Amino acid sequence: MLIGRIYWKGSAALAPMAGVADRAFREICCEFGAGYTVTEMVSAKGLCMCDRKSRELLKISDVERPCAAQLFGDDPEFMAKAAVKALEFKPDAIDINMGCPAPKIAGNGGGSALMKQPELAEKIVKAVVDAVDLPVTVKMRIGWDAENINCVDLAKRCENAGATALTVHGRTKVQMYAPPVYPEHIKAVADAVKIDVIANGDVTDGLSAHKLMQETGCKAVMVGRGALGRPWAFEQINAYIERGEIIPEPPIEKRMEVMLKHIKLLCEYKGEKVGMLEARKHAAWYMKGIRGAAALRREICELTVIDDIKRIAEKVITTAE
């Protein structure tokens, strides 16, 4: 599939979830068929000031390519400079965040706040496009709130400024992640521009992906929360889109195997102390729907070393037998 000058296999991309879609998670999702990934969002100003954490977020391995580096900010000059600095990490594209609804981001003019300033948003895209010789993409929402749905106007501005593809999350900023998703607005964007549009919002498996693609006319979807503790969602989506095959959830043993591999990667990349702290939320997601999950989550809150999660995984498998 060719999306905005980027070739990738399959029909599903991994969304750039802050605090979640790090290198370890991206690699695990790619193993299951995520065709395209995006880094966690990185502060343009932080990157320009050589912030260590910002640079760490941009580390990309060959396993997860193609991968875009996502930047956020509200200053065209800083965004352009940050895009140039991001080239050091050899991303396959630069993605501009115009969709994050978090108060910490939107409250400071970045993320979805740019939807309230379409002229500024257009200047930012143009500045980044002029600064780097890579595809520049944009992730956006349908508007700030129900009274201000301006995704079509913003999409046209991004296209005019040189963006090669857009991802549209079918919710407003005010909705955060509350239902419903509005596919008709994603479709309106896809119909209004010539560049590729990726549909985003409540995709969890092959059926939901196919439904959103049919409703929007988009040829690809982006998966976020639907992959938490379920990286095999990409395998399910690709199987259904390509062959009409419904792949069931994996058995408990396989789920625990994937979880352990994921957490080992976390510890390898971030060290055991930090890796195990971050492992707690991921392990809780992997436990969703498992018998005794509530008690297991209490144990997970006390994880400190890799042997702790191995013990829990063994308990889950034994209980399920």
Q: Please tell me the distance from the alpha carbon of residue 264 to that of residue 258, in angstroms, as a whole number.
A: 10
Q: Catalytic residue, from 100, 158, 218, 267: name it.
A: 100
Tally of helices (H runs) and strands (E runs) in the chain: 14, 11
Q: Please tell me the distance from the alpha carbon of residue 132 to that of residue 84, in angstroms, as a whole number.
A: 6
- Chain position carrying tokens 């910490």: 104
Is position 100 annotated as part of the catalytic site?
A: yes
Q: How many CA atoms lie within 13 A of 116 on its CB side?
A: 18
Angle at 67 between CA 264 and CA 156, to 5 degrees: 140
Token duo for residue 285: 């997601």
Closest listed residue to residue 114, CA positions, set 138, 134, 146: 138
Amino acid symbol at 318: T
Closest listed residue to residue 10, CA positions, set 221, 287, 270: 221
Q: Please tell me the distance from the alpha carbon of residue 15 to that of residue 13, in angstroms, as a whole number.
A: 6
Angle at 152 between CA 148 and CA 155, to 5 degrees: 115
- Chain position carrying tokens 């042997």: 307
Token duo for residue 117: 């300033």
Pairing relationship of beta strands 6-7 and 2-3 according to DSSP bridges: antiparallel
Pairing relationship of beta strands 93-98 and 136-143 according to DSSP bridges: parallel
What are the residue numbers of the active site? 100
